[in-house]
Structure 1
Amino acid sequence: MQTTTPKDMKKYLDLALAKKASDLVLAPGNKPALRINGEIVASSETPLSGDEINKIALSIASEQALARIDAEGVASIGIALDDGTIARVNISRSRGSYSIGVRFHSGRIHTLKECGVPDAVRELLNAPNGIIAVSGPTGSGKTTTLLSMLDWINENKALHICTIEQRAVSMITPKKSVVQQREVGVDVSSMAAGINAALHQDMDVIMVGEVDNFETVTACLNAAETGHLVIVQLHASSSSDAIQRLTDAVPEFMQASVKQRVAQFLRGVIFQVLARNEGKGGRSAIYEVMVVDDVTRADIVAGKETLRPGKGSVSLRDELARFEREKTVRADDIASIRAAFVK
């Protein structure tokens, strides 16, 4: 992770932090744009040319990062800022030039209570092994929830924890547990390689920052099968969709056997969205928790698109109704979430 910021980039990072933006976008031909409370807002700065963005990108990207952009289309770079914020900088190409997207992380790990995570999640975290999935749309706070779950384990259990991330966004201070944090491209070659390495080092809990391919799904299932608790992040539009994505990541001829294994080792799925707070800044997470029991397992094996949640689950429908009664988040956000995600 870098600890120094080139002058041209610092100007825009400072602008975003002053506006309390969650994201910064530098795209050729556009004004620098900020995402504030979930909405993209153009800044008052002049539009940036491709040459200007190229200069910024080349000032922060290593030769290795530039090679990844050529090979994979994107490279991720972590920058630790003076106030403790971590900027996750993603560089790709647009209109023949580089484009830059930045997501800001406070560096502070929030507690489960601060995140508003339902009590059902704590019950899931007491499982000795298996898979727990944290899912939601892009930018819904999944990483924040993942870290809060790890922090609860770290504070309450004497275990060996390993995180495998594209880029670490917070440094976890060991408490009761021993904690190792690994980055893809720095410490391990891939998510799957990081999981497989962890299996040889007496880990108890493995956090996987992204599961999106056959190799990673297989490695997660192998880890769960050998007695590890595996906490993973998935981009999904519902709890059922998250499970579907796990099975869809493998070749079709293997899906039946993978459904059997997912059904056996999946403990629960957390799905979350963000809604703007009423009368104040910021956003709050609204959670759904699908606890997996025998009924849910049967649905997974059968390949049903909509799964029946197990006993102790928390539905998004009920949580939206609760937030609506409490009037703590904006009514129009509740309406749009209900229309998009509640079937």
Structure 2
Amino acid sequence: MLRSQLDDLISQTLQAYPDLSDIILTVGKKIQAEVHGKLITVATRPGLGPLVPFQTEAVAMAMMGRNMRLYQDQLNTGSCDLSYELPGQARFRVNVFGQKGSLAIVMRKLSMTVPSMEQLKLPPIFNEMASEKYGMILVTGGTGTGKSTSLAALIDEINNQEYKHIVTLEDPVEFQHQHKRAVINQREMGIDFNTFASGLRAALRQAPKVILVGEIRDRETISIALEAAETGHLVLGTLHTSDAGQTVNRIIGMFELNEERLIRSRLAESLKYVVSQRLMLRQSGGRVAAFEIMRNNLRVKDLILNGEDDEKTFYNVIAEGDAYGMTTFDQYLMNLYENEIIAEDVAMLNASDRSRLKQMIDRVKSLRGEKVTDIEGLELDVDYGKK
């Protein structure tokens, strides 16, 4: 497939579904577009039936071009990441991967402009994060939950306010920042550096004040990130963890048992915030983010140093940390539900502690005069225990 043919195919799909978030191409299925969390079959011109192996391979090769690093990644690991741009229309983050002996492609649409914190309606505490001078801020969540978007907005706010040198390490570059007050150098894995660890180590020699690490995947990367945070840099990074407690435990678990005390101490001193986020369906259409925010204070530091027990947990400390700008997922979901932004079933599906969230929702429903039980309709077995 020629690049021009691929561009035309993607352009047709964008015209048909301008609000799409992803395009999926896999053998045995027609092209799929994900719109607001639901897959829709794409009608293209000329009509394409279910894709066959040579078609997905042709698309992959048109995207990968002559970049031998991508072919090597595909051969060695079974997948590769790249960026794809349709000039004037859209940019995509692309993953090409093998499945059942053929290739599949997932294209995640990226914003052509860097969103602001106001546009994303990020919690106000993000403004305080943008003012931090050093330490580590981690944004966590599953794939497709908006981690990169939130970090891009945070970087943009720093860019608007501070005369600093910012270095980003990304795989691939998702948002293209312009120099404002800050100077921003964006580096892409496979083109400008080979691994996050090597890119981060090199960044320490590039005189940055702020470093963005696209993903902290291993012990070496987190070790260098901590070193950077300890030596006066502000380090922003992402992990694929679901909440603050899991994030801390994941980092500690990357190290040997005999290193645990030291890594707990370093993390307790360097970690500033952990922001975890989830995307969910909005009642009025589209999607909305929910956040858990943990800010380091004396109680959080104690938990990082000494671990959790039955009484002291990250969840409880966050739940009681409203004065510090902290919030649990359940508290944030409750606010979204109370303001009729999300439905009850969506809130419950994304809860961290369903029983706690259910109690909070029931209190609101009671004040509204709504039914608060979901056991109505059950009948009492009058013969129970008589046999």
Q: Distance in 2 between matches of 1:321 and 1:87?
A: 34
The 5 A counterparts of 1:122-201 are: 122-201=127-206
**What is the TM-score of this pair, normalised by structure 2?**
0.82
Contact 2:283 2:340 in 1 (8 A): yes
Match 1:53 to one of 31, 51, 56? 56
Q: 1:39 to 1:229 in 2, by over 3 A?
A: same
Note the residue ranges of structure 1 that are not aligned, 5 or more in a row: none
Q: 1:18 to 1:329 in 2, by over 3 A?
A: farther
- What amino acid maps onto 2:298 in structure 1? D
Find the residue that maps to 2:174 and give its secondary structure.
coil
Contact 1:213 1:250 in 2 (8 A): no
- What amino acid maps onto 2:126 in structure 1? V
Cα-Cα RMSD: 2.1
Contact 2:82 2:171 in 1 (8 A): no
- Residue 37 of structure 2 corresponds to 38
- What amino acid maps onto 1:291 in structure 2? R
Find the residue that maps to 1:147 and give its secondary structure.
helix
- Deviation of 1:33 after TM superposition, in Å, equals 2.0
Note the residue ranges of structure 2 that are not aligned, 5 or more in a row: 357-387
Contact 1:6 1:59 in 2 (8 A): no
- Deviation of 1:171 after TM superposition, in Å, equals 0.8
- What amino acid maps onto 1:319 in structure 2? Y
- What amino acid maps onto 2:301 in structure 1? R
Q: Distance in 1 between matches of 2:11 and 2:336?
A: 33
Q: Distance in 2 between matches of 1:70 and 1:340?
A: 42
- What amino acid maps onto 1:283 in structure 2? R
Match 1:211 to one of 207, 216, 224? 216
User: Which 4+ residue blocks in structure 1 deviate beyond 4 angstroms?
Assistant: 339-343
- Residue 77 of structure 1 corresponds to 82
- Residue 16 of structure 2 corresponds to 18
Match 1:7 to one of 5, 11, 18? 5
- What amino acid maps onto 1:221 in structure 2? L
Higher Cα Rg: structure 1 or 2?
2
Answer yes or no: is 1:333 the counterpart of 2:331: no
Contact 2:69 2:190 in 1 (8 A): no
Match 1:293 to one of 282, 294, 297? 297
- Deviation of 1:5 after TM superposition, in Å, equals 4.1
- Deviation of 1:301 after TM superposition, in Å, equals 1.6
- What amino acid maps onto 1:119 in structure 2? P
Contact 2:63 2:84 in 1 (8 A): no
Aligned residues: 339
Q: Distance in 1 between matches of 2:352 and 2:329?
A: 12
The 5 A counterparts of 1:81-120 are: 81-120=86-125
**What is the TM-score of this pair, normalised by structure 1?**
0.92
Identity %: 27
Find the residue that maps to 2:351 and give its secondary structure.
helix
Q: Distance in 1 between matches of 2:30 and 2:135?
A: 46
Q: Distance in 1 between matches of 2:110 and 2:346?
A: 23
Contact 1:121 1:289 in 2 (8 A): no
Q: Distance in 2 between matches of 1:257 and 1:42?
A: 53
- Deviation of 1:34 after TM superposition, in Å, equals 2.1
